[in-house]
Structure 1
Amino acid sequence: MPSLLDAIEAKYGQDGSDCEAPIGIYVPRYGPRKSIPRLLVLNDCGVDSAGDEESLEKNCSGVIEIDLAHNRLTQWSEISKILQYSPSVSFLNLSFNHLSSPLMSSCVENSFRFPLLPRLSILILIGTNISWDAIWFILRHANTLQEFHLSLNNFSSVDISKLKKSFQGRKAEISASIMTSGEEDSNSGSPPISATADRFLSAQVGLPHRHRVDSTDSGHGSSGSGSSSDEDDSCLFPYLRRLMFDGNPITCWGEVSKLGSCFPSLRHLGLADCQIDSIPESAYQNFENLQSLTISNTSIKEMTDIARLKKFNTLTDLRLQGIPLFDNMTAHERRQLLVALLPNVRKLNGGAPISNTEREDAERAFIRKYIQEEGEKPERYYELVAIHGELQPLLDVKFKPATRIKLRVCYADNIFERHINVYQTTNELKTSLEQEVGFPAVKMRLFYIDAEMREVVGREEMRFPQKQLYSYNMQDGDEIHVERKQSPVQIQSSNNRNSTMSSSI
């Protein structure tokens, strides 16, 4: 399997092909191995080790971003070596490498020191199956880390017990290792095993060793290793601002609350695709600085759970979609409900900021929705009534024109009423009247009479067979007069009769 150096050589190294007359546009000042870019992107390159330490130090000292996602790194000792010789790294992506082995035990067993990461600000460990003790161990070395990705790691709980006992929990193991290797000899005047273990463990986590006073140092017995407040402070990581915890099968908000207690300065928390089914009344505790929250595609079913997000005083940006509560709502109804429930939220699902007009409309719609419902009303209803008062339901005013009207149809002495569709054509109307008038549509003449304007405009012949009826502005009560077309013989006879009458006069 290739090492990191092999992957760098393959992607960024010099092409080994010979050419008699090479065409060079740009000649770097240094050779290819000395001009490695500061951003290394080596996804899916099969990397499983770091490579030669001397070459790493020579080539990676200036690298600031390393992307090693989808590789085959499994040993913390190799990752430690990469980080040791990349002291300037600020971005590290180790996603989808299998990193389930215990980190602190690896340090002891393989006798290596995990380096401090004073410039690391973004760490991505998606889908690595990393353990909680390894997470706490890394965080103690990266005291400038601001963004941490722990999505898809199959976490069903947040284990902070190992964090609180990170020193004591490993002391016996380290002491046993020291005894086995013969590094401590009671006859050589060396310090006690426990003191040596303390120093070793303190060196591993990059924290100052607290001197332990016991009966061997004084005649007063043990005084303890520190106050309870010191132990509590060791569990906090106040520098972290963004935590992505999406896609983990966590169900209880109590576990989420542990994250807030460990990261008191958290600004953004991602919990999308988790299995959280409720939000308790005290959910806001431990999240005093949270500004952005993502809880899309969770299992929340009750509106009261959503309403409790109002207690997150600093929360202004919320992403919430794909939950069972919204199954039978339109997109407009979902947004309107969230705007009405959460007065502190100013931005929803990455959309435009919520305007004052939109918020007022949503709150009024919320009041009208519940004002006529029987039974217990949500608490938010009474809060909004205190602001806007008790509103009456809106009138249902329809501005859409009628599509069916009732007309009077007159043919000779036969008068009847007929409901017609105003979107049908004149020709279709004639066809529908054939049975009543007793002759085909081709022999039919239609005249439209506006009931209100009868005396002014008279009747209008409907000459155009494809003209739709709504274009005549027909209304209920108007009339359609039907006449039979005259044959050419009848027309000629009528003309002759009129001519004879004119000559006699």
Structure 2
Amino acid sequence: MPSLLEAIEEKYGVGCCDFSGPPDPQEQLVSIFVPKLPPLVSVPQLLVLNDCDIDCAGSEEDLKKKCHTVRELDLAQNKLANWNEVFRILEHMPRIEFVNLSKNLLNGPVIAPPQTTCLKQLKSLVLNNTRLDWESVESLLKYVPALQELHLSLNDYRNVLIDTIDDDYCGMMITSDLDDLTLGDDDDDKPEELCQCKLIKTHQYQQQQQRLNNGNENNIINSDTILNSNTLCCNGTNKISGTELIPIGASTTTAGITRTDIQNIETTISKMTELKLPSATHVKDNSVASSYPGSSSMIACDKHNNVESYKRSDSTSSMYKKTEAHSGVRKLHFTGNPVQDWSEICRLGRVFPNLDTLVLANCPLKAVEAVPRPPSSNSDKSSNTTDDEDVAPPHEFFKNLAFLNLSSTKINTWDDVDRLAQFPNLKNLRVQNWPLWDKCDSTEYERRQLLIARLPYVQTLNGGVVTTEEREDAERAFIRYYMDKPESDRPARYNELIAKHGKLDPLVNIDLRPEKRVKITFTYGDICEVRSCDVYRTVIDLKMRLERIVGIPHNKMRLYYVDQDLRDHQGPEEMKYPHKRLYSYNIQSGDEIIIDQKR
């Protein structure tokens, strides 16, 4: 596979081969003059090398000479798999502002780049379909302080495993990866109480496993130098009522723990006691939350209340990564990642607090819902806080968001639209291909009106600018749409628009279409007969029907229309055009058609 330098030479001719030398005497040389530009001394500022199978940088000296002017680099769909090679490439591009590394399997750890690598001017980074893990994302953010636009689409992220807080947003949930976690048969009917010794034994097991994995067996304290299992048992004196905490991968292994470990455990139990955790129940899935600092892997689930929204999915406390907020990123593209919960998106809002553009198209988000407020924001509040104070609205971490793309998600209720209306700076919104639209009994134009009326601050909807006239028409149509519905079905926006426009009268249904059938007097000689006639018939069709009545062939027949109101002011009007419909003559009941035969 070629290096970056070889791909540059192949495409741009930089460093062409030297053709000087004695010619072959057997060859006949023909000299012609062809104007030709000399080989490029350096590559263009926009360097595009897609699908060139590049897997390494190449000669550093040559790259330094030829790539020092590059500002935008597109290396999508190559074979780069090592971040060291990426940094070696960028090291010789001091002016680089845009880098596209899409479709390179860069899923390895990100090691700090050399000090000579200058990424302080990098503003846009595209990492679509790279399968980059969150720890690598967190590491990269440290090295690109000027980053303004980040693309993380199609990376199969089911959860966002970086955040700016120590504890998980739910605070009270302490869980780990669950594969086959079940309670005993006796636990289904009556939850057990938590004994401190269970927690300590769990911590012993986790600490031993961690130390063994680190290859530091000397730090493991022997069981005869610490409290044994009998002295650790609290004999039921310190229990958390109604809660069962179960270690992952239960083991009878006895491992030593330090006094600091015990203090951490006691702190965790104290916090959990204050939180009054609900009773536990059977859990068997891959859903987890985060853990308190110093706690072991365990789970507390509510048997009677729905806590599904409080659980972190497909992650463990060891995978969870705390990171500093990156205030520079303004645009984030997160398309095509299988994230379902808005709480995961809120993590992105905390990590990137100044986002003004967020693209979540083709993500199976189920709702735009309120999420539990991070514990850090409630630490100073009294214990008498209400439920509303413990829950953050969905726009809590998106105060600067101006553009949001939620097309092709799984959002299915109008309540989610009302929550989007609460985003303070949201001006541009895309909400196409929702399941909600499939069950709405309205046209696309009517749906747009209902959306505009519910979103008072949105100025561009699904790519179309909302004019002042369109908004007023939409708001009035919204009032009339809900005025005949029960008050319980009316959204809060209805009362706001009533206060703005007042109570409106229902529109009168005016049908300007002509009557389908009218009674016409047909006159032929001395014969007069009143018949019902379909005004949507053509003149030739009427002649063919009259042919059977008067006995005159239709091609020998003439028809004259007499308007009953203009009979005295103008004479009969010959109906010359065979394919003209009768209603175009403004025929009404009581008018007359005279039948005559051609001579």
TM-score, normalised to structure 1, is 0.75
Cα deviation digits, residues 294-327 of structure 1 (max 9, x gap): 1111111111101111111111111221111223
Comparing 330-339 and 451-460, the one that deviates more:
451-460
Give the CA deviation at 1:114.
Answer: 9.4
Q: Map of 1:238-249 to 2, 5 A cutoff?
A: 238-249=327-338
What is the aligned counterpart of 1:129 among 118, 128, 131? 131
Cα deviation digits, residues 40-71 of structure 1 (max 9, x gap): 11111110111122322333233221110010
Change over 3 Å in CA distance of 1:78–1:438 after alignment to 2: same
Give the CA deviation at 1:332.
Answer: 1.8
1:358 is matched with which residue? 470
In 2, Cα distance between the equivalents of 1:457 and 1:9?
89
The percentage of aligned residue pairs carrying the same residue is: 41
1:378 is matched with which residue? 491
Between the two structures, name the one with larger relative contact order (CA 8 Å, sep ≥ 6).
2
For the 8 Å contact 1:405–1:422, the answer to whether it is kept is: no
Give, as a single letter, the amino acid of the residue that structure 1 aligns with 2:434.
Answer: I
TM-score, normalised to structure 2, is 0.64
Give, as a single letter, the amino acid of the residue that structure 1 aligns with 2:330.
Answer: R
Comparing 130-139 and 84-93, the one that deviates more:
84-93
Q: Map of 1:35-434 to 2, 5 A cutoff?
A: 35-104=42-111, 115=117, 117-160=119-162, 235-281=324-370, 282-327=393-438, 328=440, 329-352=442-465, 354-374=466-486, 375-402=488-515, 404-411=517-524, 412-425=526-539, 427-434=540-547
Change over 3 Å in CA distance of 1:114–1:242 after alignment to 2: farther
Give the CA deviation at 1:406.
Answer: 3.0
In 1, Cα distance between the equivalents of 2:420 and 2:584?
55
Root-mean-square deviation (CA), in Å? 3.1
Cα deviation digits, residues 363-406 of structure 1 (max 9, x gap): 00000001112352111111111111121221122334455433
Give, as a single letter, the amino acid of the residue that structure 1 aligns with 2:431.
Answer: L
Give, as a single letter, the amino acid of the residue that structure 1 aligns with 2:566.
Answer: M
Give, as a single letter, the amino acid of the residue that structure 1 aligns with 2:481.
Answer: K
Residue aligned with 1:92, SS = strand
Cα deviation digits, residues 116-154 of structure 1 (max 9, x gap): 511100000011000000001000000000000011111
Comparing 333-342 and 10-19, the one that deviates more:
10-19
Residue aligned with 2:418, SS = helix
Residue aligned with 2:489, SS = coil
Give the CA deviation at 1:113.
Answer: 7.1
Change over 3 Å in CA distance of 1:56–1:17 after alignment to 2: closer
For the 8 Å contact 2:519–2:589, the answer to whether it is kept is: yes
Give the CA deviation at 1:441.
Answer: 3.1
Give the CA deviation at 1:430.
Answer: 1.8
Change over 3 Å in CA distance of 1:424–1:313 after alignment to 2: same
Gaps of 5+ in 1: 166-171, 179-227, 487-505
Give, as a single letter, the amino acid of the residue that structure 2 aligns with 1:271.
Answer: L
Comparing 462-471 and 50-59, the one that deviates more:
462-471
Give the CA deviation at 1:38.
Answer: 2.2
Change over 3 Å in CA distance of 1:472–1:336 after alignment to 2: closer
For the 8 Å contact 1:133–1:163, the answer to whether it is kept is: no
Higher Cα radius of gyration: 1
In 1, Cα distance between the equivalents of 2:354 and 2:578?
76
Give the CA deviation at 1:418.
Answer: 2.0
For the 8 Å contact 1:403–1:423, the answer to whether it is kept is: no
For the 8 Å contact 2:162–2:322, the answer to whether it is kept is: no
For the 8 Å contact 2:164–2:350, the answer to whether it is kept is: no
For the 8 Å contact 2:515–2:535, the answer to whether it is kept is: no
Higher helix share: 1
Change over 3 Å in CA distance of 1:420–1:17 after alignment to 2: farther
